[in-house]
Structure 1
Amino acid sequence: MNARTVIISPAPTANGDLHLGHIAGPFLAADVHTRYARAQGREVLLGTGFQDTSTFVVTTAHRRGVPPAELVANSAAQIEASLAALGIGIDGYTGDDDRFTKWVVDFIGRLHSAGKLELRTMKFPYSARTGQFLVDGFASGNCPECLADCCAGLCESCGRLVAAGELIGVRSTLDPEDPVELREADVLVLPVERYREQLRAHFEAHAAGIRPHMAQALASMLARPLPDFPVTYPISWGIPVPFPEVPGQVVNPNAEPMAWSMHASALAAEARGVAEGTEDALWLAGAGSEIVYFLGFDNIYPFAVSGPAMLLALGGTYELPTRYLTNEFYELDYRKFSTSRGHVIWSRELAAEVPRDLIRFHLAATSPEHQRTSFSRDALAQVTETRLVGPWNRVADQVNRWVGLGPLPVSERAIRAAARMDERFAASYELAGFSLNRAAEAITEQLARLDNHEVTGADAGDFCFEVDRLLRAAAPVLIDLAAQVFGSGPVPAPAVTGSFTPVALPRLRPAKAAR
C-alpha cells in the first residue's frame, strides 16, 4: 500500500457560489472517503480551491455587470464558506497568488525548455469588432463530435477536447449578434498524440480505478489519433507566459490541472504538517503517493488525457494518477442547475435551514455516480424522514432507555453482526468500490433492521452495541450526529469486549418540505 493517498477535487471556477450540484458530486464523495480512511489510520491529503483564470469568469462578470476581479473575490470566499457549511474538510485550498502563478509558469516552462512544446498555427474564432480571439468560454456552438451545445475547449457531454475553430455554428458568448470569423494564430501546443500509447497502457493497467462512462470515453478517444493540445492562447485573461515565440499570450486554463493539482497537494501537506519541499514533492516517482481524483465527467480530458501527457513528456519524473471517481450531472427538478436562470439551490442557504447530516445523507443517496440524478426539496424532506430521521429517532429512544444501566452483556451473535456491518460499509468507502449511493443504502438498511427489533432486557446490550457500531460506520456521512456522540475527529471502531455501556444518543431534527 502507498504511504499516502493524495485526493484532488478539481477547483470550481470562481464565477459564483457552490450549488448542490457541485457538492453532490466530487466534494461530498472526496470528504466521505477521506474521513473513512483517516478513521482506519491512513494518511490522506485532500486538496481543492478555486480557479480564476477560466474565461467563464469574464463571461459571468460581463453578464452580471461587475468587474471580473470583484466576482473572483466574492466567489472565492463563497466557495470556501459553502464547503465548510456542508462539512467538506479541505486540507489545501488553492487561490490566485504569486506562489501559484509562478509554479504554473515554472511547470509549463520545463516543458518548453525540454522542447516538448511546439509552435503551431491554429484557427480560432475572431471578433473583428472587438479585435479579440474567442476561445473556451468566449465561443459557443455545437460539439463537432457529439453535436451537443457546448463552449469551446471542452465538451461537457462527451468529455472531448473541442478546438474553438471546429465548433459548429460558432458564435460569441459575450455578444451572440457579433459576427464571428476564423483567423489564424500561432500558439504553443503539446503534441498529445506522441503519448497516446503510453496513456492507453496506463489506463489499461489501472482499469479498476475508472468508472464505466469514463472508461468508455477514454477508450474511444485513445482509439484514434489525438489532436494537438493548445498550451497557450492569444488572449489577455490568464497567466502570462514568458516565451518569446508567443508574445502577449497566456496559459490555457485547461493546461493548468497538473501544476494546480501539485500545488493543491503541497498546500494540503503543509496544512497537516506531514511534508515539506517543492510543490511537486508528493508527485515525484517513488514518493509513495497514490494520486486520486474525484471529479465530474466533464473534466476528464484535462485531468486524464492532456494533463497526464504533460507528466509523460517530462520523462518519468512523476507518478501518474491511478484512480478517477467520476460523477455525472446532478439536476434540480430534472433540469440542469442554472445560475443565470435562477434555477439553483445554494449549498449554504440550504445548510442554514436543514441539518447538514440530512443534506449529506440525501446527497449521498441521490449522488449522480453513473447517471444524472435530480434533487427536489420535497424529496429531501420525505426521503430523510422515511429512511433516516424517523428510524434513527426511534432507535435512539430505545437505546436511551438503557443509559445508566450498563455495562450490558453483548453476545457473539451481535459481535458478528457488527463485523458484517463494518464490512458492508467498508465496501462502500474503499476506493476500489467507492459508492455514496451504497453507503446511504447501508445506513437505510441497518436502521430499518434495528428499528424493527423489539428490545428486551435479554438483548438490550446487543441492540445498544449494534447501534453504536452503526453510528461509527455511518460517521463519514453523518458527521454531526457522530461528533455529538464520539467527539470531533476520526471515529475508529472500539475494542470489542463481551459487554457494552450505552451512552445517550441525540435525536435528529427533520427537514421541512418546500414552502
Structure 2
Amino acid sequence: MSTPFWITATPPATHGELHIGHLAGPYVAADVLSRYLRAEGEPVLFSTGTADHSSSVHVRALRAGRKPEEVSEGYRAAITADWLRSGIEFDRVVRPRQDRGYGRWVADLFQRLHAEGVIAARTRLLPYCEPCDRWLYGAHVTGSCPHCAAVSDGGMCHECARPNDGGDLVEPHCAVCATPAVPRRCRRLYIPLEPFRETLADYWAATGLPPRLAALCESLVEDGLPDIAVSHPAEWGLSVPVDGFPDHRIDGCFEAAAMHLFGYGDDRPLPERTIHFCGFGHAFCHAVLLPVILLSQGIKLPQEFCVNESFVIEDKAIVSGSDHKVWALDLLTEYGSDTLRRHVLQARPLGRRTVFHADRLDAARKELDENWNSWLSRLFAAVRAESAGLAPAALPGGTGWEVLGQRLLRAVEDLREAYGPDTFDPRRAVALLDEIVRLVSDFGHVNAHETCRPTADCRHLPALSAQLAVASALSAWARPVMPEGADRLAAALKAAPGRPVSDAALVPLPPGSRLAPPSGPIFGF
C-alpha cells in the first residue's frame, strides 16, 4: 500500500450551516492543495469529519427545544451538501453517529490512554447553572477568557486559542438562560500536558510552526503546560469508558483529534507528509492534543500546519441574521462555485483577520465575466466563424506569440510554486491565472485584425491555434482553484480533465477536432 500525502481540515460542529468564513478558512484551500497533488500523481488522503458531539450542538438543541441528534443530523447533511456544491472533494468524511466501529474505536483509545496514565482524574471547579440544573462546560458556558479577556466559551478561547478549564472564565454565565454560573467542585478526567514538556518542545521546534502558532506553543511551555479536561458530566456525546464516571461524556476537542486518526485508518503505513488546515482558534487541538495522543503511543508523525485567521462579518444586518448573503448555500446558488472559490482564496485571512465585503465577491464575478468568459466567448466564436468550429490545421503562432509563450512558461513555474505544499499560496495562484488570461486576451485582440488584411491568406489561424492551446492549458492550470469551470472548458476542447499543472499542458489541439463550447459561460454563471 502506497504512503499517502495526508491532508486534513478541521471537522465543523454540526450546530449550523457553513458560511463564507468556513470556506475562506480551511476547506477550499485544502481542496486546492489536494487537487494539485493528485494531478501531479501523488497519492493523497484528504480527510475531515463532522463534530456531531460538540457541546454547541447540545446548546442549539436546548435553545430550539429539539433533540441534539436531530440538530446534528440536519446540519451534517447541509454541510456535506455545501462541500459538494463548493467542489470540495474529501476522500473520507468521518460521521461519528453513522460510521461503523467509530464509537468503539474512540472508547478503546480513551481507555488505553487512561490505563497508561496519560489520562488521569482531577477535581477542579466547574461552573454550574442552578436554574437549568446543569454543569456548564464548552459552549454551555460563556465568559471572558482569563488569558486575553475576549468573550470565550469554556474549554477553549477561539480568539487566543489558549485552553481554559471552565472555572477559569471571568464572570461565567449559562449560555442557555444567561444566569451567572456558580462554581462547584467536579471530578473529571484530564490529560496533564506537563509530562510531555520536552517531547512537545522538541516536536514543535522541528515542525516549523507558523509564527503565531509558534508563539502560542512557546507561551504554553513558558507558563507551564496545563491539564486538559477530556471528560465532562453531560447528556450529549460519547460515554466515558472508565469506571467511576458513569454520567460523563468524552470532550469534543479530544474526539476531534481522535477523529482524524480514525479517518486515516489503522491499516495504512504512516503518511509521508501531513498538513493540517485549520483556523487559529482550533489550532490547539491539531498542534497540541493530537501530537500528545500520537507521542504517547510512540508515534512521531511529521506534521505541518496551514493556519488561517478569522474571516470577520462586521455588517450588523448580516450578523443579526436579517441578511442571508453569507451562507454557503445562498452564495453558491447566486454566484456558483467558481466565483465563490476564487473569492475566498483571494480574501483568505492569513496572519490577520479579514473583513468580508460583498462588493469584492461581486468583483470576483465581474473578473470572470469581463475577462475569462469574454475571451473564451470571442475565441469560440472566431473558431466557429473562421474554422467551421474545428481546431485549425496550423501550428500556434501570430504576432507576439514567441514573447507570450515565454511568459506563459515563466507563469506556469510560478503557478506550480504557488500550488506546491512547500510554498503554498493560493492567493498568488489566482493572481497568476488572472494575468495569464489577460495576456492571452490581449494577444487575441491584437491578432484578430489579421482577418482584415487583403493578403490574409490564413494568417489568422496560427493565432487561433495558439489561443486554443492556452485555453487547453488553462483547463489544467486553473482546475485546483475552479474545478467546475476548468472541467467545463476541458469538455469544450475535448481535452482530458485533471492534467498536471505543467508546461506539458500547453499543446495545440489535434487539427480538425470539433469543439463543443457550452451555450453559457465557462467559468461561473
Length-normalised TM-score, structure 2: 0.86
1:426 corresponds to which residue?
416
Separation in 2, partners of 1:200, 1:451: 52
- Note the alpha carbon deviations across 1:70-110, whole angstroms, 9 max, x for none: 11111111011111111111111111135211111111111
What is the Cα deviation at residue 447 of structure 1? 1.8
Separation in 1, partners of 2:157, 2:404: 51
Separation in 1, partners of 2:507, 2:472: 14
Sequence identity, in percent? 27
The answer to whether the Cα contact below 8 Å between 1:380 and 1:511 also exists between their aligned partners in 2 is no
1:485 corresponds to which residue?
489
Give the AA of the match of 1:484. R
Separation in 1, partners of 2:151, 2:251: 21
The answer to whether the Cα contact below 8 Å between 1:365 and 1:440 also exists between their aligned partners in 2 is yes
What is the Cα deviation at residue 171 of structure 1? 0.6
2:376 corresponds to which residue?
396
Separation in 2, partners of 1:383, 1:244: 57
Separation in 1, partners of 2:65, 2:158: 26
Separation in 1, partners of 2:22, 2:506: 42
Choose from 464, 468, 471 the match for 2:472.
Answer: 468
What is the Cα deviation at residue 56 of structure 1? 0.4
Choose from 124, 146, 166 the match for 2:148.
Answer: 146
What is the Cα deviation at residue 135 of structure 1? 0.5
Task: Verify: 1:323 aligned to 2:308, yes or no.
Answer: no
The answer to whether the Cα contact below 8 Å between 2:325 and 2:331 also exists between their aligned partners in 1 is no
The answer to whether the Cα contact below 8 Å between 2:106 and 2:258 also exists between their aligned partners in 1 is yes
- Note the alpha carbon deviations across 1:422-469, whole angstroms, 9 max, x for none: 211111111112122111111222222222332253644444333432
Greater radius of gyration (CA): 2
Give the AA of the match of 1:478. M
What is the Cα deviation at residue 169 of structure 1? 0.9
The answer to whether the Cα contact below 8 Å between 1:118 and 1:191 also exists between their aligned partners in 2 is yes
1:508 corresponds to which residue?
521
2:91 corresponds to which residue?
91
What is the Cα deviation at residue 360 of structure 1? 1.2
Choose from 399, 409, 431 the match for 1:441.
Answer: 431
Q: Name stretches of at least 5 consecutive residues in structure 2 with no aligned partner.
A: 384-389, 451-459
Choose from 361, 365, 375 the match for 2:342.
Answer: 361
Q: Once structures 1 and 2 are overlaid, which stretch shifts more, 407-416 or 324-333?
A: 407-416
Task: Pick closer, same or farther for the CA change 1:136–1:80 going to 2, 3 Å.
Answer: same
Separation in 2, partners of 1:139, 1:11: 21
Residues 38-437 of structure 1 correspond to what in structure 2 (within 5 A)?
Answer: 38-95=38-95, 96-97=97-98, 98-176=100-178, 178-207=179-208, 210-265=209-264, 279-282=265-268, 287-314=270-297, 316=298, 318-332=299-313, 338=319, 345-385=326-366, 387-400=367-380, 401-402=382-383, 403-409=390-396, 415-437=405-427
Task: Pick closer, same or farther for the CA change 1:337–1:108 going to 2, 3 Å.
Answer: farther
Q: Once structures 1 and 2 are overlaid, which stretch shifts more, 166-175 or 474-483?
A: 474-483
Length-normalised TM-score, structure 1: 0.88
Task: Pick closer, same or farther for the CA change 1:478–1:292 going to 2, 3 Å.
Answer: same
- Note the alpha carbon deviations across 1:184-233, whole angstroms, 9 max, x for none: 111121111111222222122121xx333323322322333111011211
Number of residue pairs aligned between Structure 1 and Structure 2:
489
What is the Cα deviation at residue 34 of structure 1? 0.7
The answer to whether the Cα contact below 8 Å between 1:355 and 1:509 also exists between their aligned partners in 2 is no
What is the Cα deviation at residue 337 of structure 1? 7.0
Task: Pick closer, same or farther for the CA change 1:172–1:18 going to 2, 3 Å.
Answer: same
Separation in 1, partners of 2:288, 2:213: 11
What is the Cα deviation at residue 321 of structure 1? 4.9
SS of aligned partner of 1:490: coil
Separation in 2, partners of 1:510, 1:257: 36
Give the AA of the match of 1:235. A
Separation in 2, partners of 1:35, 1:509: 20
The answer to whether the Cα contact below 8 Å between 1:17 and 1:79 also exists between their aligned partners in 2 is yes
Task: Pick closer, same or farther for the CA change 1:289–1:103 going to 2, 3 Å.
Answer: farther
SS of aligned partner of 2:312: strand
Task: Pick closer, same or farther for the CA change 1:241–1:337 going to 2, 3 Å.
Answer: farther
Task: Pick closer, same or farther for the CA change 1:22–1:499 going to 2, 3 Å.
Answer: closer
Q: Once structures 1 and 2 are overlaid, which stretch shifts more, 90-99 or 37-46?
A: 90-99
Give the AA of the match of 1:137. A
Q: Once structures 1 and 2 are overlaid, which stretch shifts more, 251-260 or 330-339?
A: 330-339
Separation in 1, partners of 2:165, 2:173: 14
SS of aligned partner of 2:101: helix
Q: Name stretches of at least 5 consecutive residues in structure 1 with no aligned partner.
A: 266-278
Separation in 2, partners of 1:218, 1:126: 30
SS of aligned partner of 1:431: coil
Q: Once structures 1 and 2 are overlaid, which stretch shifts more, 304-313 or 412-421?
A: 412-421
RMSD of aligned C-alpha atoms?
A: 2.6
SS of aligned partner of 1:83: helix
2:387 corresponds to which residue?
none
The answer to whether the Cα contact below 8 Å between 1:334 and 1:373 also exists between their aligned partners in 2 is no
Task: Pick closer, same or farther for the CA change 1:302–1:216 going to 2, 3 Å.
Answer: same
Task: Pick closer, same or farther for the CA change 1:504–1:184 going to 2, 3 Å.
Answer: same
Separation in 1, partners of 2:263, 2:293: 18
- Note the alpha carbon deviations across 1:246-288, whole angstroms, 9 max, x for none: 23211111111332002222xxxxxxxxxxxxx3344x6xx34
What is the Cα deviation at residue 494 of structure 1? 7.4
Separation in 2, partners of 1:136, 1:342: 28
Give the AA of the match of 1:361. R
What is the Cα deviation at residue 511 of structure 1? 7.5
Separation in 2, partners of 1:294, 1:181: 37
- Note the alpha carbon deviations across 1:167-193, whole angstroms, 9 max, x for none: 0011111111x3421111111211111
Q: Once structures 1 and 2 are overlaid, which stretch shifts more, 476-485 or 387-396?
A: 387-396
